Structure 1
Amino acid sequence: MGEYLRLHQDKAIFYYFRLHYSHFFPTLRTLHRTIFVRQAANLRSVKELVWQGILAHTSFDPEFYIIDSIPLPACRFVPAYGCRGASKAKPRIRIRLFGSAD
């Protein structure tokens, strides 16, 4: 993810995620950078396994590919009664732009 965002240092990646994703991960605000970096490194193998599983169940077509995607707000999420995150729920739907060589 960091390379995709052109963030080449662990410090830059950490501060980017802290700024933009702390609403998904509230403890990220209080987490030390080195712990974040260590956990991200440990999850790399898990991410690779998930990616290989996805690839095993999809077909590859060199004429058809994803160009870009953006998150958009979707219908309002109604959490279970007493959920502490009820006011912070921000549902999203992802729109993808596809292209082909034709």
Structure 2
Amino acid sequence: MSGWYSVCMLFEAEVDDRSSEEPLCEESIRLVKAADVDAARMAAESLGAELEHAYSGSDGNTVRWVFRGIVELQDLCESEIVSGTEVFSRMFKKGQLDR
């Protein structure tokens, strides 16, 4: 039986293939349905590659968003997604909040 997984994916912007000391990054949390955690990881890797894209920036440079990998993968322990379903959580000590 398949279930739902949340995957936190990391993307990084490249401008005209130049590296930057502090590149712009994006974490994106997506849902995937899969038979098990290994299948979910494979589906997430494939999705990450599909979501890569490029466009011309306002200054004429090419901006390319590159999939850098999976930050975290969580089994939602749900076979069906409904309103109010938790899709991501993390535990931390109050002084460790970094967001």
TM-score normalized by structure 1? 0.25
TM score, norm. by length of structure 2? 0.25
Per chain length, whose mean CA-contact separation is higher, i.e. which structure has more relative contact order (CA < 8 Å, sep 6+)?
A: 2
Greater helix share, structure number: 1
- Higher Rg: 1
